[in-house]
Amino acid sequence: MTQESKVLAALSDSDISAKNGSFLSQRTIRRPARVEGIGLHTGRSVRVEFKPAPADSGITFVRSDLAGSEPIVASVATILDANRRPRRTSIGNGRVEVHTIEHLMASCFGSGIDNLLVEVNGEEIPGLDGSAHPFIEIFRQAGIQEQMIPRRPVQIREPVWIEEDSAAVAILPDEAFRISYTLSYPVASLSAQFFSATVTPEFFEAQVAPSRTFCLAQEVEALRKIGLGKGATYENTVVVEPNGRIVGNHLRYPDEFVRHKVLDLIGDLYLLGRPILGHVMAIRSGHALNLKLLQRLRQNLERGREGGIKAQYVELEATSMDIFAIERILPHRYPFLLVDRIVEMVPDRRAVGLKNVTINEPFFRGHFPKRPVMPGVLIIEALAQVSGILLLNKPENLGKYAYFVAMDNVRFRRTVLPGDALILESEVLKLRSKTGQMRTRALVDGKVVTEADLMFALLEGDGKL
């Protein structure tokens, strides 16, 4: 086990061993396997051999074409600057580098592989068909070996986020691994795609892994001039013209573009070295921003910042709360604190919150920038925060967290625009000591824009029920 892995394990061991389709123990492949192909960017032929690896060793790369080269453990510590190596994820140890590892890393997530030796006789992992699916098939044929050493998921217990220009990515507390991604490009068929799901290995294999890398037709020449995309073809890369037409191919999913962005994000996150239990929310993020989020998450883990801000009990002088009272109850902070005021509170029964939506909201810079619309997933998050305030503001819940665990009967009726005053209603359906079920509505000018039934688990500060 690397020193970094030991630090992370000590700081964030979770008693959550298997849920939502994850695996109880660490895994590797049963038999060696190999594949040959062309690098998407170098255009060079390369051979990769996959070999079983011992527990707690991680995903390790070795350059077999360079005699005596030191292994590179795929981790946050070995990530190379994505701005200097654009359009891919690269790792290195100061002497040797391996590029375009994101599809392979995502396939390790999808196969539940924690430990693997990857011997590659070149600087880039082959692109194959441009997706993660071929790697999953290779691992299936090699067989999977349970290693009887427990996995240690990283349980996200406080929000972590980063944003640059019109892009942002964050991880919020959640009991499952969930991803919500908003894609927006200046092309008709890419103007707005949204994907949100709880991502288990089984879901990943069926719904995400086959999605292929893509680029805009107007980018091709510029990429070639800087030495990228030399191995790209219409078979392994979906090329999109300005009118939305796919050049020389067809889509595997109507929203294949956003699914591939999710694939890349999963591959990047797997560089943490352990599965994540949390809700990842991304707006137009790419490799550079994904990897910066990982760096920040690693810093938080090393500082032991798992507990977040524990809820306090606020004695109500009236039936309302200002932002300062809200911040004493919820762990959320800008830009993910989405409630400005509680205007009505009936303990154990009902709460009504207010969110003033302005053009200065950070999500408007990337979400339909020419026609700003508040993302539906953030309206749900705002309703969840009002529900959390209602659940947590009780003396017996002092120091607990309200984790959003499920939703049902979700409907988006109207768009929410800059200048709207969003009224957020939450009513208790069922309330027990450790769980709560709420019926929620969001309204603008008296008209319902969103409604959903939300379920929560109340956890102690150490993450236990």
DSSP letter string, 94-153: SS-EEB--HHHHHHHHHHT---EEEEESSSB-B-TTSSSHHHHHHHHHH-EEEEEEE---
**Would you call 103 a catalytic residue per the annotation?**
no
Question: Distance (Å, rounded) from C-alpha 325 to C-alpha 309?
Answer: 13
Q: Quick one: pLDDT at residue 26? A: 93
**Would you call 133 a catalytic residue per the annotation?**
no
DSSP-assigned beta bridge partners for residue 45: 38
Q: Quick one: pLDDT at residue 22? A: 60
The topology under which CATH files domain 154-302 is lpxc deacetylase, domain 1 (3.30.1700)
Q: Are the C-beta atoms of residues 308 and 331 closer than 8 Å to each other?
A: yes
Q: Quick one: pLDDT at residue 264? A: 97
Q: Quick one: pLDDT at residue 461? A: 52
Domain limits of the chain? 3-150, 154-302, 323-459
Q: Quick one: pLDDT at residue 307? A: 34
Q: Quick one: pLDDT at residue 258? A: 95
Question: Distance (Å, rounded) from C-alpha 279 to C-alpha 267?
Answer: 15
Q: Quick one: pLDDT at residue 152? A: 84
Residue with tokens 């030191």: 70
Provide the total of helices (H) and of strands (E) in the chain, helices listed first: 9, 23
Q: Quick one: pLDDT at residue 111? A: 96
Q: Quick one: pLDDT at residue 8? A: 34
Q: Quick one: pLDDT at residue 279? A: 95
- Sheet architecture: strand order including 59-63: 33-38, 45-51, 116-120, 59-63, 72-73
Q: Quick one: pLDDT at residue 456? A: 86
Q: Is 317 exposed, middle or buried (0-12, 13-18, 19+ CB in 10 A)?
A: exposed
CATH (residue range 323-459): 3.10.129.10
Q: The pTM is what?
A: 0.63
**Tens-binned pLDDT, residue by residue, of the chain (465 aa):** 333 333 333 233 333 333 444 677 899 999 999 999 999 999 999 999 999 999 999 999 999 999 888 999 999 999 998 778 888 999 999 889 999 999 999 999 999 999 999 999 999 999 999 999 999 999 999 999 999 888 888 888 888 888 888 899 999 988 899 999 999 877 766 778 999 999 999 999 999 999 999 988 888 888 888 888 788 898 889 998 888 789 989 999 999 999 999 999 999 999 998 899 999 999 999 999 999 999 888 877 766 544 333 344 445 444 678 887 888 888 788 888 999 989 888 888 999 999 999 988 888 878 777 888 999 999 999 999 999 888 888 777 766 777 778 888 999 999 999 999 999 999 999 888 778 899 999 999 889 999 999 988 877 654 433
CATH number of this structure's domain 3-150, picked from the four choices 3.40.50.360, 3.40.50.2300, 3.30.230.20, 3.40.1160.10: 3.30.230.20
Active-site annotation holder among 41, 133, 287, 332: 287
DSSP state at residue 219: G
Active-site annotation holder among 99, 133, 279, 367: 367
Q: Three-state SS for 10?
A: helix
